[in-house]
Amino acid sequence: RPQENSAHVDTEWAAVQTLTGQGVMAASDATFTFNAQHYSARQLTETRHDFELKREAFTYFSIDYKQSGCGSNSCGPALAEKYRLSEKEFEFSFTLAPLDTSETDYFRKAGLAKQS
């Protein structure tokens, strides 16, 4: 069964854009996890096999504070403690800004440039 996949961890910023350079960028002072794909969470849940997935015309761009590592003890050992997300309460924020790579300094213009 298709499942959550392609997550990128320990990310400071991520962007998705069209071939002409317009898109959206996410950035945070804390690292985060993100995923960008052409399949909705609903389609991944309801589809029984990978080959049945139908690529959608747009991109799903998901920003997460963190995720537990792979493994659930359903068909093997339990996930090692160091890979588990066990925080019960946390605060997390990020900035979401429009992106146009034709701009000479789109990080600064979008307010996403790191201050030294």
Whether the pLDDT of residue 30 is over 70: the answer is yes
- Asked which of 4-8, 40-44, 68-72 is least confident by mean pLDDT, the reply is 68-72
Whether the pLDDT of residue 49 is over 60: the answer is yes
Cα separation, 25 vs 44, in Å, equals 24
Residue 25 Cα to chain centre, angstroms: 11
**pLDDT of amino acid 108:** 66
Whether the pLDDT of residue 45 is over 80: the answer is yes
pLDDT digits (tens, 9 = 90+) for 50-102: 999 999 998 999 999 887 776 666 677 777 888 787 888 989 999 999 988 77
Cα separation, 38 vs 57, in Å, equals 7
Cα separation, 42 vs 29, in Å, equals 30
- Asked which of 4-13, 68-77, 103-112 is least confident by mean pLDDT, the reply is 103-112
* Mean pLDDT along residues 35-64: 92
Question: Residue 9, by phi and psi: left (phi above 0), alpha (psi -120 to 50) or beta?
Answer: beta
Task: Provide the residue count of the chain.
Answer: 116
Radius of gyration of the chain (CA): 17
Cα separation, 46 vs 22, in Å, equals 31
